[in-house]
Amino acid sequence: MIVTCTTLLACSAERAWEEVQTPALLEHIARPLIRFRFPDGVPPRWDAGHHQATMALFGVIPLGRQRIGIEFPAPPAGCYQVRDNGQGRIAHTWDHLITIEPLGATQCRYTDRVEVRAGILTPAVALFAALFYRHRQWRWRQLVANGFRYAGG
């Protein structure tokens, strides 16, 4: 199943791109729904390759390990993209593509597109993904409005 969510951010595409390349952003915008822990340490920036994380719903209900598979595909002209071709215990496929499209000097369109495969749980996991990405985008808009201050996560 494919889930797509889009929002407008009141910042430049370049600034959104700089932020999206950091695990700190992921941790901030996922809270409090999902907490990530990186057993090998949190990298300062995402690099292409695989990263292991454990996830917990609301920080307390274990969801198991997740492989985060970072790729930087060739984006459409003028846009930025990063892909997490991940997988975990529940979602055997979690193929997440982020696209950031400039809409001028101080605004951009941010899109989360995720393909989810979780066997018979796919409809439930896709529903969770839709709620999760709406939450993340709401947290994104708050972060931009607060001048990218990560405090109070």
Task: Give me the pLDDT at residue 152, please.
Answer: 54
Of 5, 9, 3, the closest CA to residue 145 belongs to: 9
DSSP conformational letter for 32: T
CA distance 141 to 147: 10
Of 132, 142, 73, 141, the closest CA to residue 107 belongs to: 141
Domain residue ranges of the chain, discontinuous segments joined by +: 2-145
In order of 12, 37, 107, 108, 122, the CA distances from 101 in angstroms are 9, 30, 9, 5, 29
CATH number given to 2-145? 3.30.530.20
Task: Give me the pLDDT at residue 153, please.
Answer: 47
Task: Give me the pLDDT at residue 103, please.
Answer: 97
Of 2, 6, 31, the closest CA to residue 112 belongs to: 6
For residue 17, give every residue at least 6 positions away whose Cβ sits within 8 Å of its Cβ, in sequence order, or none. Answer: 80, 100
Task: Give me the helix-helix angle, 23-30 and 122-145, nearest 10°.
Answer: 110
3-state SS class at 8: strand
Q: What is the pTM of this model?
A: 0.93
Task: Give me the pLDDT at residue 151, please.
Answer: 65
- Would you give per-residue pLDDT tens digits along the chain (153 residues)? 999 999 999 999 999 999 999 999 999 999 999 999 998 888 889 999 889 999 999 999 998 889 999 999 999 999 999 999 999 888 999 999 999 999 999 999 999 999 999 999 999 999 999 999 999 999 999 999 999 998 654
